């Protein structure tokens, strides 16, 4: 399914919901799935990347030098498609799996197109989370090594004061999260009246977090005449609406179906009871001390509990979730990135889009709620062609959800025999559970079923 088809499919759902009364008529022509409000003017680029080198693109030497410094030899497929079209000034809709190099796909043309002699915010990049915004800002710093453009990071959780100072120094590029950017716009610290390029990164996630209204208000504060680059893994109907409203005659491109994991990721799952998961995780951490593990939990509470438990057993782990202050989150990310600590326990929101390229193993401590989340999680490893593994713990209550997800995503995944893989005697809680295994057992009554989902 190419991107246009998938967009059409998603829009079909929304259209038929809205215009329920008209559904009957489409029954007459079941083969025609074309909904009325699909933009017919969207040009589509086929997913082949004929361009093999950055210097075949129309990029300036400043940019080529910066890319060389970054160690990038050849463009990734999404870069090969997006950069030339973005350089022409076209609006883009890009669909690509995580780790495919989207940041440079929009970053390079943005930096190349801006006039460094102008002192105004010329480019605005919106990201769903602070960490992601920070990473994108860091990439912009690198891309602007040889071109005197300044980047400001405008995210929540840090004092507005410092960010206002940054803006007052004169920045041409603003990278931020919608909430704080909008605050700055409303309080008139940030003027978007000169924006020439707007980028929506991980747009579906931005909407999912509830930024739809903020994003719309921000876009309304930018000039009508501008270039818009939109990147997203999925295209739910509200996002399509935004795309139709704010993108002019866009080119859409997708390098991969979103429902597909990078082929460099080996996927496994194993049966583990909910209460045995900490022990199983410890065994796994013990087995391969060189591995860099990112473990996903379902909630902040679960993150804290697991991290505490592991720390108590003197396993050095870091934890990350949306409840931490920005300076703390930043410190944690730095510690993890520099490789001092080799395991990070996190929630989905905290880990979405994070570029931690050295992660060798993703552990789904909790089964993700959706296939999309699963793919995003495991996409944190196997980045840019490196090898990675993903392992999911599946407890009996999650088995059906899991089976459904595996079938839905046609996942190429191997079940590991828990006891064989972890070795005998891995369950420290074994004795305890046996004692409490009766119907009204203590352990059981302290663990209501809903706990697992909370």
Which spans of this chain sit near ligand ADP (rule: CB under 6 A)? 72, 75-76, 79, 96, 98-104, 355, 357, 383-384
Rounded to a whole number of angstroms, the minimum distance from the CB of residue 174 to Mg ion is 17
State the Cα–Cα distance between residues 170 and 167, nearest whole angstrom.
5
Nearer to ligand ADP, 111 or 285 (CB): 111
The entry of ligand ADP, Mg ion, none near residue 101 (CB within 5 to 8 angstroms by kind) is ligand ADP
Q: Report, in this order, helix, strand and coil percent for the chain, each rounded to 5.
A: 45, 15, 40
State the Cα–Cα distance between residues 357 and 386, nearest whole angstrom.
8
Closest CA to 84 of 124, 127, 50: 50
Nearer to ligand ADP, 102 or 321 (CB): 102
Rounded to the nearest 10 degrees, the angle between the axes of helix 102-113 and helix 61-69 is 150
Q: Specify which residues 43 forms β-bridges with.
A: 251
Nearer to ligand ADP, 221 or 349 (CB): 349
- Footprint on this chain of Mg ion (rule: CB under 5 A): 102, 353
Rounded to a whole number of angstroms, the minimum distance from the CB of residue 288 to ligand ADP is 22
Q: Which residues of 430-443 are buried (b: 16+ CB within 10 A; e: fewer)?
A: eeeeeebeeeeeee
The entry of ligand ADP, Mg ion, none near residue 79 (CB within 5 to 8 angstroms by kind) is ligand ADP
The entry of ligand ADP, Mg ion, none near residue 392 (CB within 5 to 8 angstroms by kind) is none
State the Cα–Cα distance between residues 45 and 375, nearest whole angstrom.
24
Tokens representing 338 are 């520099």
Q: SS3 sequence, 32-95?
A: CCCCCCCCCCCEEECCCCCCCCHHHCCCCHHHHHHHHHCCCCCCCHHHHHHHHHHHCCCCEEEE
State the Cα–Cα distance between residues 393 and 399, nearest whole angstrom.
10
Rounded to a whole number of angstroms, the minimum distance from the CB of residue 135 to Mg ion is 7
State the Cα–Cα distance between residues 422 and 284, nearest whole angstrom.
7
Rounded to a whole number of angstroms, the minimum distance from the CB of residue 98 to ligand ADP is 4
Q: Specify which residues 126 forms β-bridges with.
A: 176, 200
The entry of ligand ADP, Mg ion, none near residue 315 (CB within 5 to 8 angstroms by kind) is none
Nearer to ligand ADP, 263 or 428 (CB): 263
Rounded to a whole number of angstroms, the minimum distance from the CB of residue 290 to Mg ion is 26
Query: CA angle, corner 293, sides to 235 and 342, nearest 5?
Result: 130
φ/ψ of residue 261, rounded to 5: -85, 155
Nearer to Mg ion, 84 or 353 (CB): 353
The entry of ligand ADP, Mg ion, none near residue 75 (CB within 5 to 8 angstroms by kind) is ligand ADP
Nearer to Mg ion, 271 or 352 (CB): 352
Rounded to a whole number of angstroms, the minimum distance from the CB of residue 398 to ligand ADP is 27
Residues 232, 206: contact at Cβ < 8 Å?
Answer: no
Nearer to ligand ADP, 348 or 355 (CB): 355
Rounded to a whole number of angstroms, the minimum distance from the CB of residue 97 to Mg ion is 10
Residues 409, 416: contact at Cβ < 8 Å?
Answer: no
The entry of Mg ion, ligand ADP, none near residue 72 (CB within 5 to 8 angstroms by kind) is ligand ADP
The entry of ligand ADP, Mg ion, none near residue 15 (CB within 5 to 8 angstroms by kind) is none
Nearer to ligand ADP, 106 or 269 (CB): 106
Q: Specify which residues 154 forms β-bridges with.
A: 176
Burial of 322 per CB tally in 10 Å (0-12, 13-18, 19+) = middle
Rounded to a whole number of angstroms, the minimum distance from the CB of residue 100 to Mg ion is 8
Nearer to ligand ADP, 112 or 355 (CB): 355
Rounded to a whole number of angstroms, the minimum distance from the CB of residue 57 to ligand ADP is 12
Nearer to Mg ion, 377 or 398 (CB): 377
Helix (H, G, I), strand (E, B) or coil at 253: strand
Rounded to a whole number of angstroms, the minimum distance from the CB of residue 209 to ligand ADP is 17
Q: What is the largest CA-CA distance in the chain?
A: 75
Nearer to Mg ion, 106 or 365 (CB): 106
Element (H, E) at 161: helix 160-168
Rounded to a whole number of angstroms, the minimum distance from the CB of residue 383 to ligand ADP is 5
State the Cα–Cα distance between residues 262 and 256, nearest whole angstrom.
9
């Amino acid at each position: 399914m190419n991107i246009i088809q998938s967009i059409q499919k998603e829009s079909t759902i929304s259209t038929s919901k809205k215009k329920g009364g008209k559904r009957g008529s489409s029954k007459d022509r079941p083969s025609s799935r074309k909904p009325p409000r699909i933009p017919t003017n969207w040009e589509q680029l086929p997913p082949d990347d004929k361009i093999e080198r950055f210097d075949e693109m129309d990029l300036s030497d400043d940019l080529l030098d910066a890319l060389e410094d970054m160690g990038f030899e050849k463009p990734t497929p999404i870069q090969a498609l997006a950069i030339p079209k973005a350089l022409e000034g076209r609006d883009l809709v890009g669909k690509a799996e995580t780790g495919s190099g989207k940041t440079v796909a929009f970053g390079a043309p943005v930096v190349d197109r801006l006039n460094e002699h102008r002192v105004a915010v010329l480019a605005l990049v919106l990201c769903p989370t602070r960490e992601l915004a920070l990473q994108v800002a860091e990439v912009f710093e690198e891309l602007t090594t040889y071109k005197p453009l300044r980047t400001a990071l405008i995210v929540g959780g840090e004092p507005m004061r410092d960010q206002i100072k940054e803006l007052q120094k004169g920045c041409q590029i603003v990278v931020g999260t919608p909430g704080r950017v909008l605050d700055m716009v409303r309080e008139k610290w940030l003027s978007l009246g000169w924006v020439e390029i707007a980028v929506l990164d991980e747009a579906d996630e931005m909407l999912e977090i509830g930024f739809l209204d903020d994003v719309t208000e921000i876009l309304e504060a930018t000039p009508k005449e501008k270039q818009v680059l939109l990147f997203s893994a999925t295209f739910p109907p509200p996002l399509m609406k935004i795309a139709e409203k704010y993108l002019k005659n866009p080119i859409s491109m997708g390098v991969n179906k979103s429902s597909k994991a990078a082929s460099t990721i080996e996927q496994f799952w194993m049966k583990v009871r909910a209460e045995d998961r900490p022990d199983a995780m410890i065994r796994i951490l013990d087995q391969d001390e060189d591995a860099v593990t990112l473990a996903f939990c379902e909630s902040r509470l679960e993150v804290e509990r697991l991290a505490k438990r592991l720390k108590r057993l003197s396993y050095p782990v870091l934890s990350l979730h949306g409840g931490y202050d920005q300076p703390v989150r930043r410190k944690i990310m730095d510690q993890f990135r520099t490789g001092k600590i080799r395991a990070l326990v996190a929630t989905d929101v905290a880990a979405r889009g994070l570029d931690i390229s050295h992660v060798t193993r993703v552990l789904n401590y909790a089964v993700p709620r959706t296939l999309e989340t699963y793919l995003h999680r495991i996409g944190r490893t196997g980045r840019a062609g490196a090898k990675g593994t993903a392992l999911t713990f599946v407890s009996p209550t999650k088995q059906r959800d899991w089976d459904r997800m595996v079938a839905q995503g046609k996942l190429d995944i191997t079940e590991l025999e828990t006891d064989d893989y972890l070795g005998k005697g891995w369950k420290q809680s074994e004795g305890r559970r046996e004692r409490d295994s009766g119907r009204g057992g203590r352990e059981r009554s302290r663990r209501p079923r809903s706990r697992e989902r909370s």
